[in-house]
Structure 1
Amino acid sequence: MQTDSALSMLAALAHPVRLATFRLLVRHEPEGLSTGQLVEESGLTQSTFSTHLAVLAKAGLVVSEKRGRQQIQRVSINAFRDLMLFLAKDCCQGRPDLCEPLLAELTCC
């Protein structure tokens, strides 16, 4: 992953509505949620929420797929994984034992 891509993703997540939306979508993987469900959950108007969703999509964190008459939003697991790997790649300077607590916390839940 390039630094510019990571910065774009981190900037997209650096807003309370977008971060909450992303975390909600992570909890609903792999089925995703409809745009209407996300709007309802956010408490925002459709147009305001669409702006936030567009930022997440432009950063590559959220993908949309049409199912019947609904637009289903899902997290791009590959982009999420790439961002996490980018952030942790040089973790602990090659000493995996120092990263074990982080990994254990990720796998416990």
Structure 2
Amino acid sequence: METKAALMALAALAQESRLAVFRLLVQAGPQGRAATKIGEELGIPASSLSFHLKELSHAGLVQSRQAGRFVIYSANITTMNQMLGFLTENCCGGNPCTPVQVQQCAAE
């Protein structure tokens, strides 16, 4: 990923509503969510949501498709992985990094 593209993606995510939308779409997987459902789940008015989706789309982080009368949005996982690769490209000076310890679920 080029630096300019990484900056666009990071700038798009540097806003609370857009970050929430992107995280929701990552959780939704490839099937995505209709714009109306995104707005309902996150409590974002349609006019604001449209602006945020446009910004995420412009940064290449989300993609849309028509499904009947609905527009379905999904996270662009390729771009997300490229951004993560860009951010960790020189991680730990080229040495293997220590894995992050994930807390175990309380149910275990």
Q: Which residue number in structure 2 is paired with residue 73 of structure 1?
A: 73
In 2, are the aligned partners of 1:32 and 1:74 still within 8 Å (CA)? Answer: yes
List alignment gaps of at least 5 residues for structure 1. Answer: none
User: What is the Cα deviation at residue 30 of structure 1?
Assistant: 1.7
User: Which 4+ stretches in 1 moved above 4 angstroms?
Assistant: none
1:3-49, CA deviations, whole angstroms, 9 ceiling, x for partnerless residues? Answer: 11101000000000000110011100021100010111222221111
Whole-angstrom CA distance in 2 between matches of 1:32 and 1:24: 9
Q: Give RMSD over aligned pairs.
A: 1.7
Q: Which residue number in structure 2 is paired with residue 100 of structure 1?
A: 98
State percent identity of aligned pairs: 43
Whole-angstrom CA distance in 2 between matches of 1:32 and 1:65: 10
| DSSP 3-state at the match of 1:85 | helix
| DSSP 3-state at the match of 2:71 | strand
List alignment gaps of at least 5 residues for structure 2. Answer: none
| Count of residue correspondences | 104
* More helix, by proportion: 1
Whole-angstrom CA distance in 2 between matches of 1:100 and 1:28: 29
Whole-angstrom CA distance in 2 between matches of 1:66 and 1:59: 20
Whole-angstrom CA distance in 1 between matches of 2:27 and 2:35: 15
Give the alignment's TM-score, normalised by structure 2. 0.89
Whole-angstrom CA distance in 1 between matches of 2:45 and 2:91: 41
